[in-house]
Chain A
């Protein structure tokens, strides 16, 4: 019923690392929740069910815990129902997660042959006999990626995560998405093992798209929690890029590189857990003090909330993949595995992978821009609202949750080799060769890429040299005793005020304008002009909202089309019953004629005759006379 191999244990460790600091934070957050018992019950059931998912050894237990995880998180989103948006987001989440569940159920019903209690090994036998393995693969990725939030199934994240209480968003974004990644590892390795090349390419493409789209929408977002939720999409994309590279290398027989790429994906899974939880906690602390999720109302919080600001800064550096942080190390590994694509013989694949490199590098650059915006607008400058002015540091428990999570981030940075040893064991357990000794051939100082002539990075040396140089300069600054004077900033003769600062909208302005073709923003610009002058006005209001393109194309337009068709059918069936009956008659005619044409002999003469009969019938019965 339960399985405790290296993969499961590593994910148990991931969940515990994510949940234990969160427990402190959640306890500190509890006084602000009205329905305490409801919250606590679902919170613990949520953590328990995630642990259950990663240790379950058959389909029934897996699906039970999976569904429990979905339902408890759905209830947790509904903890604080303040407005209709919460209910709408929860409903959206509910539908999306059950959309995924449906495909998982289909997958399991096929691979278990109806007996849901058999183990993974027997599932593999059944799956290998199944005639359409790619169908199974698509069921699997639809099931898991709708939970993980990869494009195009990512639309629920920016709605659901902001509406949940902050500890829950940290847990959902940091840990629950990773449980879906666990599912990918578990079932692609244990059940669907020999992968065709195309599967890896599908995953790689989805990853590259998710990473770019996630970061682009994050940049246009002013709701801090929605911004972070969009960044989850980006990071899931980065994990999938590593995963896809691993699958591609495995299919091509480059086993060492494949393990390296998978380890990179797993490492990034851990890193994203740590810094995303920390960022959500920081955002939650800010939200808790200022009572708004709108970044334009923050500012200057670093002075009031130093602990939050420092931990948020560490997480921001890490998520922007800046050296020597852990986020940099895992992105470095993913980059190195992509650069090893020069060993591939397949020329079209070799030419395609630079586009994925381009996507990942672009993502890195935009992520830096996005976190400069998030950090700079939230914590720096002057307060932009009275709430931000009166903010102060959060309570001890919440603070300790954030500090503990910072320690997790730092431990992933400092003890990378130790974590790597465990990741290596996971893939030994999944039937790959050990690569730990190749990644760290000469002690813990240097991390090697496994490609021929691959790069090397030395995280600890980088960290210590950065700290050393900075401290040396600070020391010199202190020793020489430079005179420092505090004075108000020069602002062209005016005084600096909260209104003259750059806003989050303004900060993302150039990038928004460049990607206008993608964003298609709704802009609202009102101004009160003076005496009809176009350029002279004394009050103005500018707002810009970006509605995700995917939502417009895949969700809203489909909903609109279904709505339109159903309305049309309704009108027809209720108000124009003769025409409705005529249509049924005509459809019967079409079926009969086409049956005759396709099943029996085909002759042009009868075809033309039937065509004319159809046309006349349609004209007389359906279209009718012109009014």
Chain B
């Protein structure tokens, strides 16, 4: 139980670091002077000290939605696969509940965007609705395929099963599912090529547009939610698609897990540096690719058993 709580706390604490790390890596690769990787914490504490400014057009939704954006994600943190052998984990919660909770968070974020009567918010919500509607089927199919390979629909149990008996005979469908999930990781977290988290240009904003009217604590909450969402996806990817390293002693296993997270973050940073942001109407092509890979993974599993 202690390991369980420690690992959740560790992941929550690590969340802002990971996003700052991606940003710093990108800056190094672009020959800029990088920000400190602790910038996330600095921003957080700075925002906590600011007052909250609420625009006068908003309603009760703005007052409560930031909390409702964060709380489903915090609950998802409790359902992730274990980081270390012997740690407690919630074995039974399945992928629908997890995607459902993430959608609940997105639902309130989109309402938040529409609440302030500014054109930016509506634009962000509209685009987010478009993207997340297309992400949903790929997500469900990918996790279905992984759970077939792991022999359990519970995400926590699937992570453990994969770590204990890696399905070597299903390597092909496993890889397809991995590719699909990585695309989803990028799309759901609004990274390039789907969304550019660093720009405030109305042509390209998605996530930033929805939260443009927030400041202070509310902004801090939403930024935390964004970083927690990234760490959820990263640790799901790490547990389901890089299932090794659980069997070591707790500190080493933690270190291995963190190394995996940083590896994923580096991958994302490299991808961001090397690709341009897609036009909004080209994004379905990318997500369609994820859907096709998810189907391929299922079909290879069923037909070839590979």
Contacts and interface: CB of A to CB of B under 8 A. Distances in A.
Interface of A: 299-300, 302-303, 306, 317, 320-323, 328, 331-332, 335-336, 339, 342, 347, 350-351, 354, 357-358, 361-362, 364-366, 368-369, 371-373, 375-377, 379-382, 446, 449, 451, 453-458, 462, 465-466, 469-470, 473-474, 477, 482-491, 496, 498, 500-502, 506-511, 513-514
A500 B114 CA distance: 12
Interface of B: 51-61, 64, 67-68, 70-72, 74-75, 78, 92-97, 100-101, 103-104, 106-107, 110-111, 113-119, 121-123, 125-127, 129-130, 132-137, 139-141, 144, 147-148, 151-154, 212-213, 216-217, 221, 280-281, 284, 291, 295, 298-299, 302-303
Given A323-B100, A354-B144, A502-B122, A380 B52 contact: no
A368 B151 contact: no
A112 B57 CA distance: 65
Contact of A485 (B53, B64, B107): B53
A511 B133 contact: yes
A482 B51 contact: yes
Given A365-B137, A486-B54, A491-B118, A372 B110 contact: yes
A455 B96 contact: yes
Contact of B119 (A379, A453, A500): A500
Contact of A489 (B55, B133, B291): B55
Contacts of A358: 137, 140-141, 291, 295
A199 to B, nearest CB: 24
A148 to B, nearest CB: 25
Contact of A449 (B74, B78, B117, B153): B153
A502 B121 contact: yes
A364 B59 contact: no
Contacts of A514: 130, 281, 284
Interface-centre pick from A455, A496, A508 (highest chain B CB count, 10 A): A455
Given A323-B104, A511-B129, 13 more contacts: A320-B103, A323-B72, A339-B153, A368-B106, A376-B122, A380-B114, A381-B114, A456-B154, A473-B70, A473-B221, A489-B55, A502-B123, A510-B126
A365 B135 contact: yes
Contacts of B298: 351, 354
B303 A347 contact: yes
5 contacts: A302-B60, A376-B111, A456-B94, A466-B75, A484-B53
B114 A376 contact: yes
A107 B7 CA distance: 63
Given A354-B141, A466-B71, A510 B130 contact: yes
Contacts of A482: 51-52, 216-217
Nearest to A487: B53
Contacts of A375: 111
A487 B54 CA distance: 6
Interface of B, secondary structure class, is helix
Nearest to B301: A342
A373 B129 contact: yes
B129 A362 contact: no
Contact of B56 (A361, A488, A501): A488
Contacts of A376: 110-111, 113-115, 122, 125
List 5 tightest A-B contacts by C-beta distance, closest first. A502-B122, A455-B94, A365-B136, A376-B114, A489-B55
A491 B130 CA distance: 24
A56 B135 CA distance: 46
B117 A489 contact: yes
A332 B97 CA distance: 8
Contact of A368 (B54, B107, B221, B280): B107
Contacts of A470: 64, 67-68, 71
A458 B60 CA distance: 29
Nearest to B114: A376
Contacts of A332: 96-97, 100
A372 B144 contact: no
B69 to A, nearest CB: 10
Given A320-B107, A491-B118, A361 B132 contact: no
A382 B93 contact: no
A396 to B, nearest CB: 22
Contacts of A380: 59, 61, 111, 114-115, 117
Contacts of B95: 455
Contact of B54 (A302, A350, A485): A485
Contact of A456 (B64, B93, B104, B281): B93
B68 to A, nearest CB: 6
A299 B114 CA distance: 10
A500 B75 CA distance: 37
A362 B153 contact: no
B153 A502 contact: no
A354 B294 CA distance: 10
Nearest to B95: A455
Nearest to A472: B71
B125 A502 contact: yes
